[in-house]
Amino acid sequence: MSHFCPGGLVARAARAEAPTADEPRVPRQSGMTHRGGLAALVLDENGRITQWSRGAMRLFGRSTEKAIGHDICDLLLLDDCHETIRHALDEAASGTSWSGVFPAECADGRVHDVAFDLEPLATPGPWGTVMVTAMDTRLPQLTRADFEAGERLTLLNEVSTRIGATLDTRQAAEQFMDVAVPRLADTASVSVIEGLLRDEGYPDGADGSVRVRRLAFRLDARYQNGHDWKKAFPDNEIGVYDAGHPNTRCMDTGTPISYSATDLGNDQVGRISGVLGDAATGILDGASYLAAPLTARGTVLGFITLTRNPKRAAFDAHDETLAADLAARAAICIDNARLYSRERRTTHAFQQNLAPSILTVPPGLELAHRYLPASDMTVGGDWYDVFPLGPGRIGLVIGDAMGHGAVAAGGMGQLRAAVRALNGFNLAPDEVLRRLDHMADDMHSIQCATCLYAIIDLEDHTCEISRAGHPPPIMVDPDGDARVLDLPSGLALGLGDPEFSGAFTTTRFAMPPGATLAFYTDGLVESREQDIDTGIANLQGALGKPHDTLDQTCAAIIDALPRQYDDVALLLTRIPAG
């Protein structure tokens, strides 16, 4: 392959601009016109030609009868291109577009560089599976700058499309590999500074060295040569690069650097030789290397490393520019994933430290509880707590701070801490909510939060409850009859409406031994497919079904949950019978 040019060739030909004064046109060849330099044909899965256009006849000088049914390699290309075309056909058969430039015999009887685009057909059939667009690179309307600009745009768009949506750093690195190999390089790797992955400050090695973690490594399958490259360059490996290494220098300068094996250092070459053997090391010795920094939001995250085997053209200034653009685009996606992971870890830390995963069961009371985040990737502000208030009195609270992520978890933690602080004042439930409402005005992490606060008296077998916009509790009588308690709803905390400030009411009712009281958040009873009234009715029915223990009741309700869109919290309590 003489050089590489990615997809979109026909579109670039159509929008090519006139050359600049210091960049002449590609010379016009005798007998060649713009119209005669473009062609389309269709191949089957084995590379045989099934459709042959008039443009193909003009470009390659072969009639339809002499082209249909022939292998494209045997008909047009030189022997040393066959392996690459077979690889391209495999890529297209798997649904991946592929592009390259090959020497091909054209209508004037000479061999010229022709750019080929291979696109898988959306509806393959007996007419073929792969659409091929071919263009003579001598077209007078095109200059090298046109090709390079189109190449850069195509790869940049593909990087954004492939990795822009992922919020996982390792997956982002893997998908970058899909773009870089084999079109830009024969191997590629993505390495990120280890400290940044662990949420540490930016490392400042006294000797200028840098410690990085290799997130992903990729080798073009055509160059495995029986060697275990993954063993030599394992994913997730941590390595230290000294100040003089090209990878370190590219991060220090913020610019890409091309280099050779001599710049790797004897220790690295020796390590690779020890794993792959001298034959593979010989391949690396003659390879071309390119390192480009991963820079996002003013921070250098790490670097990408690209290599080309000795049979391929060495990296040049154009490749450095392209690699810098690709690395910058990839860095934004990797940094987005890194920051998202950091926020998620922070949120989980909030919940683990602020919301109890194990509740201390006070004497004389049975408890069962569950908390489920909406998904492994998101955490919200649902919470609950149980605490003693004095002899024979138990406080219970459940709440939901609006939103997801660290802000909602922080609001949850503040509310829980405030409730704990108010417990020593022996306040009625409505007064607790009233003070929480005033506190919420000064809690910037709380925009809106629902809450339900209850006090159970184990001696009198009574319960006092007040609500702040929270779903109503459900009481299950000892005989199994479940009913929704009709309590004044109150306003959610933090709304800041002075007209309704303090509009909370305490309701007192009997709670006989053997009766179960259920507190829950709206994620348990409301979804896109189910309104909250229907959800409460379904929960009421589920609570009325007999189970041996409260924990079995909890498990049965959670197991029957439909698809979740929000966090779920469930707290069941009961004064034991007898």
Domains contained in the chain, CATH given? 9-141 (3.30.450.20), 152-345 (3.30.450.40), 355-574 (3.60.40.10)
| Separation CA 420–CA 412 (nearest Å) | 12
Closest by CA position to 185, among listed 212, 223, 214: 223
Choice between 269 and 241, residue whose per-residue pLDDT is larger = 241
Choice between 26 and 410, residue whose per-residue pLDDT is larger = 410
52-75 pLDDT, tens digit per residue, is 888 888 889 999 889 999 998 888
Find the mean pLDDT for residues 481-510: 83
Question: 149-153, 365-369, 544-548: which range is least confident on average?
Answer: 149-153
Please report the pLDDT score of residue 205 as a whole number: 59
Choice between 283 and 468, residue whose per-residue pLDDT is larger = 468
Find the mean pLDDT for residues 544-560: 92
Q: Is 323 exposed, middle or buried (0-12, 13-18, 19+ CB in 10 A)?
A: buried
Find the mean pLDDT for residues 155-178: 71
Please report the pLDDT score of residue 30 as a whole number: 33
Residue 487, phi-psi category: left (phi > 0), alpha (psi -120 to 50), beta (remainder): beta
Judged against a pLDDT cut of 80, whether residue 484 lies above it is answered with yes
Contacts of 392 (CB under 8 A, 6+ apart): 364, 457, 458, 459
Find the mean pLDDT for residues 340-345: 72
Please report the pLDDT score of residue 406 as a whole number: 62
Give the global pTM.
Answer: 0.50
Residue 529 · residue 485 · CB < 8 Å? no
Please report the pLDDT score of residue 347 as a whole number: 62
HSE-CB of 46 using CA atoms within 13 angstroms: 7
For the chain, the average pLDDT equals: 78
CB under 8 A, 24+ apart: contacts of 405-408 = 405/343, 405/344, 405/347, 405/378, 405/379, 405/380, 406/343, 406/346, 406/347, 406/350, 407/445, 408/347, 408/379, 408/380, 408/381, 408/445
| Separation CA 281–CA 292 (nearest Å) | 23
Choice between 8 and 483, residue whose per-residue pLDDT is larger = 483
Please report the pLDDT score of residue 28 as a whole number: 31
Please report the pLDDT score of residue 163 as a whole number: 58
| Separation CA 340–CA 167 (nearest Å) | 7
- Residue type, position 318, single letter: H
Judged against a pLDDT cut of 90, whether residue 557 lies above it is answered with yes
Retrieve residue 326's tokens: 């690709």
Please report the pLDDT score of residue 83 as a whole number: 79
Please report the pLDDT score of residue 495 as a whole number: 77
Please report the pLDDT score of residue 504 as a whole number: 92
C-alpha 288, offset from chain centre = 31
**Alpha helix segments (H runs only) across 405-530:** 406-422, 429-440
HSE-CB of 382 using CA atoms within 13 angstroms: 22
